[in-house]
Structure 1
Amino acid sequence: MKDKNSIINIAKQTIKMESEAILNLSNLINDDFAEAVQLIYNSKGRVIITGIGKSAIIANKIVATLNSTGTPSIFMHAADAIHGDLGLILKDDIVICISKSGNTPEIKVLVPLIKSAKNKMIAITGNKDSFLGQQANYILNAFVEKEACPHNLAPTTSTTAQLVIGDALAICLLELRGFSSNDFAKYHPGGALGKKLYLRVQDISSVNEKPKVNPDTSIKKVIVEITEKMLGVTAVVENDKIIGIITDGDLRRMLTKVDDFSKLTAKDIMGANPKSINADAMAVDALDVMEKNDISQLLVEEDGKYAGVVHLHDLIKEGII
């Protein structure tokens, strides 16, 4: 059994070997790569990506990356393709075949069928002289000298190289399309980025309780209001306008200063001119206000009237942070 130092050294060597192989890929980027990117960019069809074994798994990931960055893509398993799934490929589609050797039996059967349909074909392969390399219209060279596997058998470095080539392809297309963070958010409305770009304060505050008291409310009732609404705060409101705020902290500070608060009212302990935000503002802007002012709650206004509370915990729950 290997000791900890041996395990750490193996891990470091694996990372070093793969990183060197990936760095070498930059020397293999050529006109074929640029022309393949232009072909996809100008295409009216989709990108069909196919492979078998570990290459099929990489193909799935590249499909996901392309779809999320504005290039419609579909995965087609090479084995399934020759048993009926070739119907996925439409007239204007471009096919990307991924294969380290470029000589697997499935690829040798599939490639002629793709060519007979006159679809343009791009190869991501580590062997440009292979059957796939010779038949493809464009070759994206993913050559690696050896696998990280000590027996040079398990696909490791080679699949990492395929993945990096796919990422390079996707980023080039993203740049050509002028694909922005707003565009990205359209495809990820439920993700953190999407929420930062789309989620508004009112989307959060509208589902919260709306704690409020008037300036003459007794401290006892203020405590009850804060406790029942469970936001650690209440707005002090007069004629629907925010005139102050009372937090849990304000109550604790009051108790350290007075023994008898029976005659005190909300206006006696409230913080005047509290920070607030418009209901239509972006949720991420609410976070910015909270961070700059070191506060956990923010009062919300709509058309100049009190509209509720947004809490830091709400933003954390929504993944804004």
Structure 2
Amino acid sequence: MNIIKNIKNSAIKVLQTEAEAVQNLANNIDGDFESCVTGILNSNGRVVITGVGKSAIVATKIVATLNSTGTPALFMHAADAIHGDLGMIQKEDFVICISKSGNTPEIKVLVPMLKRMGSKLVALVSNTDSYLADHADFVLNATIKAEACPLNLAPTTSTTAHMAMGDALAVCLLEARGFSSDDFAKYHPGGSLGKQLYLTVDDLVVKESVPMVKETADLKEVILEISGKRLGATAVLNEAQNLVGIVTDGDLRRMLEKGGDLGQVKAKDIMTKNPKTIEHKEYAIRALNKMKEHNITQLVVMKKESLLGFIHIHDLMKEGIV
């Protein structure tokens, strides 16, 4: 029991330490941060991010975030930079060096070379009194009180702080560029996230053999239409071919439970009036959200005032959206 308690306490302490550090970063958003964002926006170059050790891993994550949100970015390992990779850097680029101490040997060798190339140098550091910070054009201050590691050695809080500062930078650039969900979809065409951003209802709607009956249809016709089209429901139209309701298999069960003279039942007697609909141009994810909101499994798809078909939750599941 004591071991389990110690595990829980240690985990909570780590999370609290890192959460406090990230919260404190808000106090470090200053003129340098703002100038860095505007400088990148006005630059014709790219963002090149570099570091060594854990900082290099953080750098690759920030590069990925920038690229996916409209800011061209490259990763360059600081150790490889001095062995030929400096050739990827152009004068117009912004180079962000990530380092907790700002005094690592690789960084000290790299900084003078970057300065001679004329690129803007950004220091993302946890030590503003460092070689890197002193020589940078902009300093992103990610100072922390201590690592979450009880020895205060393993990079834990510092890497979390650096990553959070990188996220802040990426989101500021995203908002300043007016980057939209449509833009985001262009960079994320794969996986469920991509499908949520580009698949529309029109891509999934069942347009052929759409179940529909007139509001005067008898019970037998309604049942045959529902079972024959295998969508679990049928649209109900009036004489002008306008949608006036929907009959689901649930409506049929509830009618049978009530009893009565089934021979006299018409579609209009058991239909749900004003059924939930969605326009065919809407994103498929919005169809899913509407189904969840109303606790239903299908929507009637409309093209303005005309019935186009049905979209069922199973259609969304097959595409991996659910």
Normalising by structure 1, report the TM-score. 0.82
Write the letter of the residue equivalent to 1:280.
Answer: K
Cα deviation code 1:150-195 (max 9, x no counterpart): 1111100111111122122223333433445555455446687876
2:147 partner SS: coil
2:20 partner SS: helix
Q: Where in structure 1 are there 5+ consecutive unaligned residues? A: none
- How many Å separate the matches in 2 of 1:142 and 1:178? 27
Q: What is aligned with 2:33?
A: 33
Larger mean CA deviation between 207-216 and 230-239 belongs to 207-216
Q: What is aligned with 2:122?
A: 122
1:90 partner SS: coil
Write the letter of the residue equivalent to 2:298.
Answer: Q
1:75 partner SS: strand
- Distance change (3 Å), C-alpha of 1:50 and 1:206: farther
Q: Where in structure 2 are there 5+ consecutive unaligned residues? A: none
Given the alignment of the two structures, is residue 310 of structure 1 paired with residue 293 of structure 2, yes or no? no
Deviation at 1:249, TM superposition (A): 1.4
- Distance change (3 Å), C-alpha of 1:92 and 1:209: farther
- Distance change (3 Å), C-alpha of 1:295 and 1:164: closer
- Distance change (3 Å), C-alpha of 1:36 and 1:266: closer
Q: CA RMSD in A?
A: 3.5
Deviation at 1:208, TM superposition (A): 7.6
- How many Å separate the matches in 2 of 1:161 and 1:289? 38
2:103 partner SS: coil
Q: What is aligned with 1:177?
A: 177
The percent identity for this pair of structures is 57
Deviation at 1:95, TM superposition (A): 0.5
- Distance change (3 Å), C-alpha of 1:263 and 1:145: closer
Deviation at 1:203, TM superposition (A): 2.4
Deviation at 1:145, TM superposition (A): 3.0
1:3 partner SS: helix
Given the alignment of the two structures, is residue 152 of structure 1 paired with residue 156 of structure 2, yes or no? no
Deviation at 1:239, TM superposition (A): 7.0
- How many Å separate the matches in 2 of 1:16 and 1:270? 55
- How many Å separate the matches in 1 of 2:125 and 2:294? 55
- Distance change (3 Å), C-alpha of 1:71 and 1:208: farther
Cα deviation code 1:73-120 (max 9, x no counterpart): 122222333333323222311110111122323223322332222111
Deviation at 1:52, TM superposition (A): 1.6
Q: What is aligned with 2:100?
A: 100
Larger mean CA deviation between 302-311 and 187-196 belongs to 187-196
Q: Are 1:65 and 1:170, in contact at CA under 8 Å, matched by a contact in 2?
A: yes
- How many Å separate the matches in 2 of 1:289 and 1:149? 45
Deviation at 1:261, TM superposition (A): 4.3
Larger mean CA deviation between 127-136 and 288-297 belongs to 288-297
Q: Are 2:45 and 2:90, in contact at CA under 8 Å, matched by a contact in 1?
A: yes
Q: Are 2:69 and 2:179, in contact at CA under 8 Å, matched by a contact in 1?
A: yes
Q: Are 1:208 and 1:309, in contact at CA under 8 Å, matched by a contact in 2?
A: no
Number of residues paired by the alignment? 321
- How many Å separate the matches in 1 of 2:172 and 2:272? 53
Write the letter of the residue equivalent to 1:88.
Answer: M
1:50 partner SS: strand
Deviation at 1:214, TM superposition (A): 4.7
Cα deviation code 1:254-309 (max 9, x no counterpart): 32244774675645544455444443345466567656766443222336433111
1:70 partner SS: coil
Larger mean CA deviation between 93-102 and 66-75 belongs to 66-75
Q: Are 2:21 and 2:144, in contact at CA under 8 Å, matched by a contact in 1?
A: yes
- How many Å separate the matches in 2 of 1:291 and 1:25? 38
